[in-house]
A = this chain, B = another copy of it.
Amino acid sequence: MGHSHSHDHSICIETAIAEAERLCAERGSRFTDLRRRILKMIWQGHKAVKAYDLLDQLATEGGSAKPPTVYRALDFLMEEGLVHKIESLNAYIGCPHPGDNHVSQFLICDKCETVKELSSDELTTAVMNAAKQANFAIRRQTLELHGVCANCQRNREAA
């Protein structure tokens, strides 16, 4: 089950929840129990999570959630900048630095499925320049790089 890049992941989860708590309080948004549970599920690892997997997990936990329940929670979490959608996977990933106003750029390993969020200034600048050159006013961007992460390159045999 190992994370190759081993770390105490419970800290990731706790930090994410605490940050969410803080931001929502600050903004007067309601971080309800359902929303907290779903954010926690998304943070179970560093892989993107699918909506129907969340549904299944909710079902396991006793309740009887239906699709709109999950999608509404995801919409809320996205509006608050707590999670991002990975368009090329139809899946959702927790944002490691919510609050910062930032664009999302992702490295997605096709072997171990780990998703890493980038913040490359050079990349951001290049995007803005490309848009400027075409007189194009950017409102949002989808930037998803698929390939093989450093770990999976080392451990060739894995997966």
Which chain A residues have a beta carbon within 8 Å of chain B's beta carbons? 87-88, 105, 107, 109-110, 116, 118, 120, 122-123, 125-127, 129-131, 133-150, 153
Copies in the complex: 2
The complex places the Cα of A52 from the Cα of B12 at a distance, in Å, of 41
Residues of B within 8 A of A146 (CB): 138-142
B122 touches A126 (CB 8 A): yes
Chain B residues in 8 Å Cβ range of A141: 143-146
Selected A-B contacts with CB under 8 Å, 20 pairs: A87-B88, A107-B134, A118-B134, A120-B126, A123-B129, A131-B147, A134-B149, A134-B150, A136-B147, A136-B148, A136-B149, A137-B153, A138-B145, A138-B147, A139-B147, A139-B148, A140-B146, A141-B143, A142-B145, A142-B146
User: Which residues on the B side are within 8 Å of A144 (C-beta)?
Assistant: 87, 141-143
Tell me, rounded to whole Å, the shortest Cβ–Cβ distance linking A155 to chain B: 13
- Residue of B105, B135, B139, B148 touching A137 (CB-CB under 8 A): B148
- Find the B residue at minimum CB distance from A144: B142
Chain B contacts of A130 at CB under 8 A?
105, 118, 120, 122-123, 145
Interface centre among A87, A130, A149, A153 (most CB of B within 10 A): A130
